[in-house]
Amino acid sequence: MAKREIEGDWVMGWPDRKRATLLAGKDAEGRVINGRAPLIELEGLITPTDAFYIVNQLEVPEPVHPDDWRLTVGGAVDRPFELGLEDLRKLPGRSVRAVTECAGNDAGFFDYLTKGGKKPSRRNQQDMQKRAEMRIKGATPSEAEVSSESTTTCAVSAGEFTGVPLIEVLQRAGIKSAAMAVRAEGFDSGRPDPTVQYRSVGTTDYRYVDPGVIHYDKGLPLEKALHPDTLLAWAMNGEYLTHIHGGPVRLIVPGWSGNWWVKWLQALEVTEQMPPCYHQTHYFVLGESADDPQKKMLTAMGVRCIVTDPVDEDSPLEAGRRRVRGLAWSGEGMIVRVEVSFDAGASWCDAHIEHPQERWLWVRWSCPWDARPGAYKIMARATDEKGRVQPQIPWNFQRKLCDWIVPTEVTVS
């Protein structure tokens, strides 16, 4: 069989192997400002830092030198204070290995599975540079550009994060008894790009709510803020956090979608009400429409399971014994079961879950398959330790947290 060419840099010492690289978009100065992880090409459980997906809602800020970085802790606390990176590092630390997924990841599958049309591909066929340039120019996209934006895949990665539990810092400040949330604010600022909003709902025929120039912020409900695995992290995958991933310090909120993981932290404010953060009340919400009275902020990811081998583009497959492989994760606990169907959901068999199974991390799973000639729809679904099975998340107007089962369609010759 012809050797398949893999995009990207050669892996040192492996003459016939190339390094899986981020599909990235760059700003006018050549700095990477967005990116999608080459999921299908990656091995293991931890996403290499330079292959880790990148999403920003506002402008990427100028870097702050770690020695100049300050975090203010205030609001409904007894002792407001300010600390620097070295102060933070004097507190007891912790490392957490966790998946982080953009709430908009795989949004296009909501449309594909309800209306058909072009199937989003996880072999990274998105033009991230075009996305980046549209934002740099502040151009309003055409209706066609917006509705064809259903290819947002691979905005998910997993890392090892090292820092200090947020609760350590909050305890030093002394939380007042009426406290309800902790508002985490980044030092990035800007006016939320209407293009991002139009892409999310899939049409420009949408009443964009303009909050003006804001700092990116999220009001984390107190219970989650006090969870020992919720961290103020300065390291990722064994190195200092890079600027684009929120250095010097970002918030880590295991189980909850990426938008909670506030980058470039500059302030923590304990609040006695849920703060009206734009990205909490307008953008990262679940509901049937913008006017839905039941509209609510989104929090934990659903249960997710994707097939990474084979993918549709591998067709036609050679007949014979092989293993179907994939990844599964959940926002609310460990994955305890993965089932695979080769007949579009008529019958299911249990897949083998590869160790380790960790609370916040994804698992790799695999399943033997004696592939005979024919056409197949391979489906995989996961169950988490809470007993949640896919799908958990209903269709919603912002197309967030899609956890639907997407059949892999292949032929065997």
57 binds ligand MTE (CB under 6 A): yes
Determine the interface stretch with Mo ion among 77-85, 89-97, 100-108, 114-122 (rule: CB under 5 A).
100-108
Residue 45, contacted partner among ligand MTE, Mo ion, none, CB below 5-8 A by kind: none
Q: What's the token pair of residue 26?
A: 């760059």
Q: Which run of H or E residues covers position 114?
A: helix 108-115
| CA 272 – CA 250 distance, rounded (Å) | 23
Q: Which is nearer to Mo ion, 302 or 310 (CB)?
A: 302
3-state helix, strand, coil in the chain (%, to 5): 15, 35, 50
Closest CA to 295 of 304, 309, 283, 277: 283
Do 32 and 21 touch, CB atoms closer than 8 A? no
299 binds ligand MTE (CB under 6 A): no
107 binds Mo ion (CB under 5 A): no
Q: Which is nearer to Mo ion, 48 or 258 (CB)?
A: 258
CB of 211 to Mo ion, least distance (A): 17
253 binds Mo ion (CB under 5 A): no
Determine the interface stretch with ligand MTE among 16-24, 47-55, 91-99, 219-227 (rule: CB under 6 A).
47-55
State the number of binding residues for Mo ion (CB under 5 A): 4
In DSSP notation, 390-404 reads: S------TT--S---
Interface residue with Mo ion, options 151, 259, 299, 366 (CB under 5 A): 259
Interface residue with ligand MTE, options 21, 56, 200, 383 (CB under 6 A): 56
In DSSP notation, 154-195 reads: --EEEEEEEEEEHHHHHHHH-B-TT--EEEEEEEEEEPPPHH
Footprint of ligand MTE on 237-276 (CB under 6 A): 245-246, 258-259, 261-264
User: Which distant-in-sequence residues (6+ apart) come within 8 Å of 274 by Cβ?
Assistant: 180, 181, 219, 221, 280, 297
Q: For strands 374-384 and 335-341, give the pairing.
A: antiparallel
Interface residue with Mo ion, options 61, 141, 255, 258 (CB under 5 A): 258
Residue 362, contacted partner among Mo ion, ligand MTE, none, CB below 5-8 A by kind: none
Do 339 and 350 touch, CB atoms closer than 8 A? yes
Q: Which is nearer to Mo ion, 102 or 307 (CB)?
A: 102
Determine the interface stretch with Mo ion among 184-192, 198-206, 253-261, 306-314 (rule: CB under 5 A).
253-261
CB of 263 to ligand MTE, least distance (A): 4
Do 297 and 279 touch, CB atoms closer than 8 A? no
- Contact residues for Mo ion, defined by CB under 5 A: 55, 102, 258-259
